[in-house]
Amino acid sequence: MTAQPDGIEPPVDNAVPTVDVPAARERARAIPEATVARLAVYLRVLIGRAEEGVATLSSEELAAAAGVNSAKLRKDLSYLGSYGTRGVGYDVDILVGQIERTLGLTRKHSVAVVGVGNLGHALAGYGGFSSRGFPVTALFDVDEDLIGIRIAGIEVHHLSRIPEVCAELDVTIGVIATPGEGAQEVCDLLVKAGVRCILNFAPVVLQVPEHVEVRKVDLAVELQILSFHVSRRELAEEPIADLTELGEVVVRP
C-alpha cells in the first residue's frame, strides 16, 4: 500500500489480526476514482467471458478486451487484493465476485428516475439497468398529465411525493432527467429524501451537501468535445491553407 489517502496513518500496524476490518475500510477508500470506473468495464468483459465458459484470463487478454494497458489493469486489480495466479492469470469467477463486492454490487440498488420526458422515458424502459442490479422502481414528473400512468410497469408520481416514495422503496440512486430549470429543485428533494447518489443528465451544475455524490452526464458536452477533435483534425490535416476561416489573428507586439 503505497498511497496513503491523506497523511493520517492508522495508529499501530504491528499486531497480527485475523480479520483486518480497518484495512477493508482503508482499501475501499484508497481505490482511485479512475480505477473504479475501469473496474466496471473489466466486470462487464469478465461476465461476458464467463458466459462463454472461459475459466481463466491473463491480464494481457483482459486488458486488450477492455481497451487498456495491461500494467494498468494489473495495478487496478491489485487494489482489490491478490486474486491472480502467477503463470496462469485470473480466475474469472473469483474476479467477478471480488469486483462486484468492491463496487457494492452484492446488493440491489433501487433507482428513481425524475423527469419522464424523452430521456427519462428511455431510461425507464432501458433493460441495461435492471439486468445489472439497478432496478428502476420509481418515476416522477411535474406534468399532471403524466401522473398515474405506467411506463414499463412503473407508476409515475408527482415530484412532491419524492420523499415519501423514495423512503418507502429504499431508493439509493436518483437519476435527474429533467430540463435544466427544474433540476436543482429536484435535486434538493432527492437529497431531502435521503438519496446520496445522483446521476444528473440536466445541463446544470448541481449544488449538493458534501455527503452527496453527483455524477453528471452531459450529452451536448460530449458532442462538443467531439466537435473540438473534428476541427483539430482538419487543422492538422490541411497543409497550410484555408486557416483564415479560423479568424485567428494573433498580432505579436
State in angstroms the smallest separation of the CB of 228 from a second copy.
5
Indicate whether 32 belongs to the interface with DNA (CB under 7 A).
Answer: yes
Instruction: Choose among a second copy, DNA, none what residue 126 binds, the Cβ cut-off being 5 to 8 Å by kind.
Output: a second copy
How far is the C-alpha of 182 from the C-alpha of 166, rounded, in Å? 19
- Report the alpha-carbon angle 121-125-130, nearest 5: 130
| Alpha-helical segments (H) within 53-179 | 59-66, 70-78, 92-103, 118-125, 127-130, 162-169
The least distance separating DNA from the CB of residue 69, rounded to whole angstroms, comes to 4
Q: How far is the CB of 130 from a second copy (least distance, A)?
A: 10
Q: Which amino acid, 66?
A: A
The dihedrals phi and psi of 154, each to the nearest 5 degrees, come to -110, 130
Q: What are phi and psi of 18, to 5 degrees?
A: -80, -45
DSSP assigned state of 251: -
C-alpha 161/C-alpha 136 separation (Å) is: 16
**Among a second copy, DNA, none, what does residue 59 contact (CB within 5–8 Å per kind)?**
DNA
**How many angstroms separate the Cα of 139 from the Cα of each of 59, 135, 204, 228?**
41, 12, 21, 36
Within 151-210, which residues bind a second copy (CB under 8 A)?
172-173, 196-199, 203, 205
Q: Cβ neighbours of residue 62 under 8 Å, at least 6 residues apart?
A: 42, 45, 46, 70, 73, 90
Q: Give residue for cell 449538493.
A: 208
Positions in 193-222 near DNA (CB under 7 A) = none
Residues composing the chain: 253
Is residue 240 near a second copy by the rule CB under 8 A? yes
Tell me the closest approach of the beta carbon of residue 115 to a second copy, in angstroms. Answer: 12
Residue among 88 and 152 whose Cβ is closer to DNA: 88
Residues 86 to 125 in contact with a second copy, rule: CB under 8 A: 101-106, 109, 111, 118-119, 121-123, 125
Q: At closest approach, how far in Å is the CB of 1 from DNA? A: 7
Find the binder of DNA among 40, 55, 88, 221 (CB under 7 A).
Answer: 88
AA letter at 71: A
Which of DNA, a second copy, none binds 6 (CB below 5-8 Å, type-dependent)? DNA
For residues 63-82, which are near DNA according to CB under 7 A?
68-72, 74-75, 77-78, 82
Q: Which residues bind DNA (CB under 7 A)?
A: 1-3, 5-6, 32-35, 58-60, 68-72, 74-75, 77-78, 82-90
